[in-house]
Amino acid sequence: MDQHGQRDTLHIPAERDLTVYVDKRELVTLMTLGAHPEWLVLGYLLNQRLVKSVDEIESITVDWDVGAASVKTRQGIDRIEERTAKRVVTTGCGQGSVFGNLMDEIDQIRLPEEAELRQSVLYDIVNAIRLKESTYKSAGSVHACALFRGSELLLFVEDVGRHNAVDTIAGWMALQQALGAGAAAGGAAGRVFYTTGRLTSEMVIKSAQMGVPVVVSRSGITEMGLEVARKVGLCAVGRATNKRFLCYSHPQRLVLDAMPVEAPTGAGEPRALTA
């Protein structure tokens, strides 16, 4: 019922629960739109650092009738009990969960120095997303993530949670690389990761873990997100809508080849902010 008392039928997104079992041991239940559950589970395991490579996994079998994803590893996951015991509740929703100390790992990550993003390509990306969002347009209440190679959209994923969307992309990327398609296409260095969600530390870490040196968001950044981005050399671009954006870190990666013609905003002028 709307503000005029009128009743209408609307679309809303439907999340399903998918319980992940690793070698028959229950690990976690994910709530997902479920478009690509196998990539999601693979990306989840990789991003949580429970597996290091696709090779460690023999199979992932999803059965929606019982809402279960069964992961079979080749050798088991070393010390899985211990490694999933520590829970850090993350910023994104305030209470996301990551296992162990992902933050410890970022010390080992350095993104390729030469990677850059042309402003014209950034505008192509923002426009491609605008044209693409399908569940969002019809039902709202979902987040989108996408992976680009230059202006070319490689994969677009919508999910109820922004972490499911990025994990799905991570799973797809890892599978492509395992199949040799990643190397053929120049690897992760030329890639740009787009998310509608905020650039919190976990989102920045996940981008860095995938080796993607540029992340673009419609939303803003938090202090820890910025700190991680600076540390790993990630170019974090936020508030990207139409021709506007804010580059929070590593602006040297941005090539300003398409500056908009309207007058620049005065330095002290307040900016429109959206969460």
Kindly identify the residues of this chain, within the stretch 135-194, that bind its own copies according to CB under 8 A: 136-143, 159-165, 167
Residue whose CB is less far from its own copies, 180 or 264: 264
How many residues does this entry show for the chain? 275
Residue whose CB is less far from its own copies, 87 or 110: 87
Q: Indicate whether 120 belongs to the interface with its own copies (CB under 8 A).
A: no
In this structure, are residues 128 and 154 in contact, taking their beta carbons and an 8 Å threshold? no
- Stretch of residues binding its own copies (CB under 8 A), selected from 65-73, 104-112, 174-182, 265-273: 265-273
CA atoms of 200 and 212, how far apart (whole Å)? 16
Of the candidates 171, 198, 213, 229, which one interacts with its own copies according to CB under 8 A?
198
Instruction: Report the nearest approach of its own copies to the CB of residue 7 (Å).
Output: 8
Residue whose CB is less far from its own copies, 3 or 108: 3
Kindly identify the residues of this chain, within the stretch 54-73, that bind its own copies according to CB under 8 A: none
Of the candidates 39, 71, 219, 228, which one interacts with its own copies according to CB under 8 A?
219
The torsion angles phi and psi of 32, rounded to 5 degrees, stand at: -145, 155
CA atoms of 118 and 258, how far apart (whole Å)? 8
Helices (H), 94-216: 102-105, 119-132, 135-139, 162-178, 181-184, 201-209
Residue whose CB is less far from its own copies, 89 or 181: 89
Q: Indicate whether 215 belongs to the interface with its own copies (CB under 8 A).
A: no
In this structure, are residues 116 and 253 in contact, taking their beta carbons and an 8 Å threshold? yes
Q: Which amino acid is at 246?
A: L
Q: Which amino acid is at 273?
A: L
Kindly identify the residues of this chain, within the stretch 98-117, that bind its own copies according to CB under 8 A: 98
Kindly identify the residues of this chain, within the stretch 227-256, that bind its own copies according to CB under 8 A: 239, 243-248, 251, 254, 256
The torsion angles phi and psi of 104, rounded to 5 degrees, stand at: -60, -30
CA atoms of 102 and 47, how far apart (whole Å)? 9
- Stretch of residues binding its own copies (CB under 8 A), selected from 11-19, 58-66, 104-112, 172-180: 11-19
| Cα atoms found within 13 Å of the Cα of residue 194, Cβ hemisphere only | 34
Residue whose CB is less far from its own copies, 10 or 180: 10
CA atoms of 61 and 258, how far apart (whole Å)? 46
Binding string, residues 21-60; x marks residues near its own copies by CB under 8 A: -----x-xxxxx----------------------------
